[in-house]
Amino acid sequence: MIQFLVHEKTDTVGVATVDIQAGETAEGLYMDTQDKVKVKSLDDIPLGHKVALKDHPVDGGVIKYGHDIGKVVAGIKTGEHVHIHNLKTRRW
């Protein structure tokens, strides 16, 4: 069962299509290539929220839809929930 979608192969996060539980190995799908990907979730990831597909260092970027969507303000590990507690817009 597909639990998250990744828009482009270069994206570093996926978007949950169902609630994902911490400790669960979730299966995702790259929409551009139809390749499948798995990630072990370190946090609960609510429907519609982002899951990290790689480690992201502080001050690094997060790629979604092939674009940098923000600045990492707290290090993010593969499988962690990516949201406002660890990612901020680059506009401010």
Supply the pLDDT for residue 77.
98
Supply the pLDDT for residue 2.
98
CA-to-CA separations, 66 to 8, 12, 23, 42, 85, in angstroms, rounded = 6, 9, 28, 24, 22
pTM flag (> 0.85): yes
Match 């092939």 to its residue by tokens: 66
Q: How confident is the model at residue 40 (pLDDT cuts 50, 70, 90)?
A: very high
Region for 86 from its dihedrals, namely left if φ exceeds 0, alpha if ψ lies in -120 to 50, beta otherwise: alpha
Rounded CA gap, 90 and 70, in Å? 5
CATH number of the domain enclosing 20: 2.30.130.110
| Domain count along the chain | 1
**Token digits of residue 31:** 């929409």
Answer yes or no: is pLDDT of 92 > 80.
Answer: no
Domain that holds residue 32: 4-88
Mean residue pLDDT across the chain: 96
Supply the pLDDT for residue 91.
76
